[in-house]
Amino acid sequence: MTIFDLIFLLALLASAVTLALAAIAGIRGRLTQSLRILRTWGIGALVYCACALAVAFFAPQRVIAIGDPWCFDDWCLTVEGVKSAPADGAVSYRADLRVSSEARGISQRALGAWIYLIDDAGHRYAPDSDRSAIPLDVRLGPGESVATSRTFRVPAGVTHLGLITGHGGPYCGLGVLIIGSGGCLFNKPAMIRLQ
């Protein structure tokens, strides 16, 4: 968990308390006070969102090297290697992956985990369907890891590919509200650069 995750959680808690106070004031017939609270909350929300957008715009793209783990709290994904081969007018990329847990006392999984290849133009390429592949959201015990792979078909001529991943929501979902996590809005998501 980063400092920006904590700031987001504190902002969420402050929003809940502020909106509850505005509702209580409104129910008690203090409409002016309720509207003043809502206006203050709205200004604060706009300032927070402006900060998140500014950081996303000005921050450099985070690029993780092949072989380095990419961790989301205690769930990590590592690209251990990539092989490419021509495939019917396209190029097939096989990414050998390791899914691991850095948790010390609990079993865990990354519900809703997803993975894509992405090019410099922002086009995403989903992995080929493979029912025999170990799912990315496999339950892992403390310190446990599993090897798996994903194969992607990309049109010939596409270069500058990166692998993007996440869990708990779609690509460029509500995570953009966390300061430092909105790079996808400006076509510079965190990624593992493949070429």
Residues 15 and 88 in one domain: no
Residues 187, 119, single domain; the answer is yes
Whether 111 and 139 map to the same domain: the answer is yes
- Per-residue model confidence (pLDDT) at position 121: 87
Same domain, 94 and 160: yes
Amino acid 1: pLDDT: 66
**Could you give the count of Cα atoms lying within 13 Å of 175 in the half-sphere of its Cβ?**
18
Q: Verify that 49 and 98 share a domain, yes or no.
A: no
The predicted pLDDT at position 72 comes to 83
Q: How many domains, the chain? A: 2
- Digit-by-digit pLDDT tens for the chain (195 residues) are 678 888 999 999 999 999 999 999 999 999 999 999 999 999 999 999 999 999 889 989 889 999 999 988 888 999 999 999 998 889 999 999 999 998 888 888 888 889 999 998 889 999 999 888 999 989 999 989 999 999 999 998 888 899 998 887 777 777 778 888 787 888 888 899 987
Q: Are residues 80 and 130 in the same domain?
A: yes
Give 30: exposed, middle or buried? Use CB within 10 Å, 0-12, 13-18, 19+. Answer: middle
How is residue 7 written in tokens? Answer: 């700031």
Pairwise CA distance, residues 187 & 179, whole Å: 16
Cβ–Cβ under 8 Å, residues 109 and 138: yes
Which residues 6+ apart lie within 8 Å of 162 measured at CB? 63, 117, 118, 119, 189, 191, 192, 193, 194
User: Which structural domain range is residue 116 located in?
Assistant: 63-193
One domain for residues 127 and 141: yes
